[in-house]
Amino acid sequence: MRRSKRQLAVLIGIQSALVVWTAFPFYWMLVTSVKENGEIYGPVARLIPSTFTLVHWRELFYKTPFVIYFRNSLIIATVTAVLSMAIGALAAYAITRLTFRGRTIAARSLVYSYLVPPALLFIPLFQLFGDLHLLNTLQGLILADLTFTVPFCTWLLVGYFKTVAVDMEEAALVDGCTRLTVLLRITLPLSAPALVVVALFSFTMSWNEFLYAVVFNTNSNVRPVTAGLTGMVTEDVFFWGRMMAAAALGSVPPILLYTAAQRWIVQGLTLGGVKG
Amino acid sequence: MASSDDRSEVIMPRSEPGRESKLIRIRATRLFGRDWAIAYPFLLPVLAVLIGLVAYPFFSAIWLSLTSTTIGSPGTFIGLANYQRLLGDRTFSNSVFVSIVYTVSAVGLKFLVGLLAALVLNEALPPKNLWRMLLFLPWSVPVVINAYTWRWIYDDLSGVLSQTLIQWGLTDHYILWLADKTLALKSVIVVELWQGTPFYIMTFLAGLAAIPTELYEAAKVDGAGAMRRFLHVTLPCLTPVITIVVLLSTIWTANNMQLVYVLTRGGPARTTEIFPYLAYATAIQAKNLGLGAAIPLVFFPFMAVVIYFLTRRMLRQE
């Protein structure tokens, strides 16, 4: 499309504004984490820092439980991703390949569950986990995260399994393979890209989860990064350098994974409602 | 559906041992569908999650809201007393008001900025993918982390926002972005705009890419200008996407208390106390589980309407 010079200028103007608006907080986060306290809390905000120090990063590792938080987040997100992938694959296979009563209801209840807001579930789950002694455990948070990752994974895999041709599966069944063998040996390998995407999503979703983490786990030994950050505020008056270092580090895994899965994000989050 | 499955009609051999058990199996097949014996075990884990961790808590929330349960004491059935208390409570009606203002303006702004940004990015100068990746960043980072970054930007004395405005001579005093009653909610909405818009941009870009170029060419041949092409081609083609995105985002925005938790804790003077935060403060901090459970439930009928329309849309697309 040909554009006039004025149109081009407007376009570039809006685009630059968007880029600055989006990028500035990240820039400020990184810059703050390497400034000396004197400059951070000085009267003048310098866009280009005049001091450089790694003291906040060192303190983050040695003076705060951040490493524990990070480890907890890794454990919770990894286990959640693996579990939801396994649970989702089994259910999606049943929904797309098998004939049984209640199939439509099962499929629909997935979408409904995906949409039930955590703001409604956290109070009864808090009580339930209290009764089951799951508060202040990593297992509890993994179970809580499954409430949104499992419906999500299953639904996405249902969509994908529908597009995988069934000829090979049928041939294998005729040869006497069981359904489980067919799923493991044929359907899953053919769906490898979808499985990777689903795992990435589950991982980031549970990495980013906050409400359950902050309500269920009050002990900092079992807190993930998101809930852990809230505990770092009260420890010190001058905490912003350290805090921004923690923020930067806590952002790395989801940014990497979402960037890797970028092509599928739109379709994924709208449960296939919007084709990407 | 299982009812449409007539492969379960198996011809029964008359004289065979174990006929009784075979009959039962056939009846079960008729009742539950051909593959029930494999399907149900395959579904067992997912059902355990959906029933045990979503449906059961959902109904136990309803029960809880009818009791006087607090953290540490089981409480008794008190009927609708919690709801009555909420309806007569200023704090609650305030949070209804704040929630509506917050959700409507945040969703409205995200929609407008998202649409504009998508239209611009659709025509963007290369490298397109780099811009897309960059503009998606705020959405991929945990909301709490965004909230802390912004709390630092908004900081009263050392925050970059106040200091820069003073340096540029636009104001002569430090602005209390999060502590001023007239500013706090607006400041929170700005952060929500920053971190929520990328989702709109991405989905709208996907929607725009799906519009066939022939439509634009045809409109051009008919002499339609840019504005009319937007109103008569782009917007109608984008409507299904817009509906899904706005409904989905309404649910997410209305129910998310993370920004408020970090930025303002509902203050100052409850001007940012959206209902999920009030529910948290009531149930967890004030330990009143019963009353706390009732708060999101009051909003649930409205949520259910949104969820209903959304699910219909999503299932139709599928």
Q: How far apart are CA A118 and CA B279, in angstroms?
A: 12
Whether the CB-CB separation of A29 and A244 falls below 8 Å is answered with yes
Q: Which of B163, B141, B170, B171 is CA-nearest to residue B258?
A: B141
What pLDDT does A206 receive? 95
Per-residue confidence in pLDDT tens, chain B, 318 aa: 344 444 444 454 555 567 777 888 787 777 777 788 888 889 999 999 999 999 999 999 999 999 999 988 888 899 899 999 999 999 999 999 999 999 999 999 999 999 999 998 888 677 777 888 888 899 889 999 999 999 999 988 888 998 888 888 888 888 899 989 999 999 999 999 999 999 999 889 888 888 888 888 888 888 878 888 888 888 888 998 899 899 999 999 999 999 999 999 998 999 999 999 999 999 999 999 999 999 999 999 998 999 888 888 877 754
Structure-derived torsion over alpha carbons of residues B183, B184, B189, B191, reported in degrees to the nearest 10: 110
**Shortest Cα–Cα distance, A143 to chain B (Å):** 8
What pLDDT does A42 receive? 84
A25 touches chain B (CB under 8 A): yes
State the best of A2, A60, A162, A270 to mutate against chain B, taking most chain B CBs within 10 Å. Answer: A270
- In percent, the amount of chain A with pLDDT more than 90 equals 50
Query: In the beta sheet, which residues pair with residue B77?
Result: B67
Contact flag B131-A226 (C-beta cutoff 8 Å): no
B309 touches chain A (CB under 8 A): no
From the list A23, A41, A98, the residue facing B39 with the nearest CB is: A98
The per-residue DSSP string of chain B comes to -GGG--TT-PPPPSS-TTHHHHHHHHHHHHHH-TTHHHHHHHHHHHHHHIIIIIIHHHHHHHHHHTB--BTTB---B-TTHHHHHHHT-HHHHHHHHHHHHHHHHHHHHHHHHHHHHHHHHHTPPS-HHHHHHHHHHHHHS-HHHHHHHHHHHT-TTT-HHHHHHHHTTS-SS---TTTSTTTHHHHHHHHHHHHHHHHHHHHHHHHHHTS-HHHHHHHHHTT--HHHHIIIIIHHHHHHHHHHHHHHHHHHHHH--HHHHHHTTT-STTTT--HHHHHHIIIIIS--HHHHHHHHHHHHHHHHHHHHHHHHHHHHH-
Specify the amino acid at residue B170. L
- Mean pLDDT, chain A, as a whole number? 89
Paired tokens of A216: 């269920």
What pLDDT does A159 receive? 86
Contact flag B145-A229 (C-beta cutoff 8 Å): yes
**Shortest Cα–Cα distance, B100 to chain A (Å):** 16
Q: Which of B111, B249, B129, B239 is CA-nearest to residue A263?
A: B129
Whether the CB-CB separation of A120 and B297 falls below 8 Å is answered with yes
Whether the CB-CB separation of B295 and A157 falls below 8 Å is answered with no
Over its C-alpha atoms, chain A yields an Rg (Å, rounded) of 23
What is the residue extent of each domain of chain B? Answer: 14-65, 86-317
Contact flag B245-A112 (C-beta cutoff 8 Å): no
pLDDT digits 0-9 by tens, A156-198: 899 888 888 888 888 888 888 888 888 888 888 888 888 888 8
Query: In the beta sheet, which residues pair with residue B70?
Result: B73
Please compute the mean of the pLDDT values over residues A194-205 and round it to a whole number. 90
Paired tokens of A98: 């098998």
Bond before B127 cis per omega within 30 degrees: yes
Give contacts of B 87-126 with A, CB under 8 A. 116-117, 120-121, 123-125
State the best of B6, B35, B102, B148 to mutate against chain A, taking most chain A CBs within 10 Å. Answer: B148
What's the start-to-end Cα distance of chain A, in Å? 23
The pTM of the full predicted model, rounded to 2 decimals, is 0.89
- Residue B77 has φ and ψ, to the nearest 5°, of -70, 125
CA distances from A109 to A82, B49, B193, B270 (A): 22, 11, 31, 36
Whether the CB-CB separation of B142 and A205 falls below 8 Å is answered with no
Top-tier CATH class for A59-269 = mainly alpha
The per-residue DSSP string of A69-138 comes to HHHHHHHHHHHHHHHHHHHHHHHHHHHHH---TTHHHHHHHHHHHHHS-HHHHHHHHHHHHHHTT-TTSH
**Shortest Cα–Cα distance, A21 to chain B (Å):** 8
A44 touches chain B (CB under 8 A): yes
Whether the CB-CB separation of A29 and B138 falls below 8 Å is answered with no
pLDDT digits 0-9 by tens, A20-63: 999 999 999 999 999 988 888 888 888 888 889 999 999 999 98
Over its C-alpha atoms, chain B yields an Rg (Å, rounded) of 27
Q: Does domain B86-317 have CATH number 1.10.3720.10?
A: yes
Helices (H), A116-239: 118-131, 138-163, 167-174, 179-182, 188-190, 192-208, 211-216, 225-232
Contact flag A259-B152 (C-beta cutoff 8 Å): no
Specify the amino acid at residue A247. A
Whether the CB-CB separation of B294 and B86 falls below 8 Å is answered with yes
Q: How far apart are CA A59 and CA A167, in angstroms?
A: 59
Q: What ipTM score was computed for the predicted complex, to two decimals?
A: 0.91
Whether the CB-CB separation of B206 and A274 falls below 8 Å is answered with yes
A45 touches chain B (CB under 8 A): yes
Any idea what DSSP says for residue A184? Answer: I
What pLDDT does B318 receive? 47
Write the secondary structure of B239-277 as one string of H (helix), E (strand) and C (coil).
Answer: HHHHHHHHHHHHHHHHHCCHHHHHHCCCCCCCCCCCHHH
Instruction: Give A91's contacts in chain B (Cβ within 8 Å).
Output: 42-43, 45-46
A275 touches chain B (CB under 8 A): yes
What pLDDT does A276 receive? 53
Q: How far apart are CA A14 and CA B116, in angstroms?
A: 9
What is the residue extent of each domain of chain A? Answer: 5-56, 59-269
pLDDT digits 0-9 by tens, A81-120: 999 999 999 999 999 988 888 888 888 898 888 889 999 9
A77 touches chain B (CB under 8 A): no
Element (H, E) at A45: none
Give contacts of B 9-28 with A, CB under 8 A. none
Whether the CB-CB separation of A98 and B42 falls below 8 Å is answered with yes
Return all residues near B118 (Cβ < 8 A) that are at least 6 apart.
Answer: B200, B201, B204, B205, B207, B208
Q: Give the HSE-up count for residue A205: Cα atoms under 13 Å, Cβ half-sphere.
A: 28
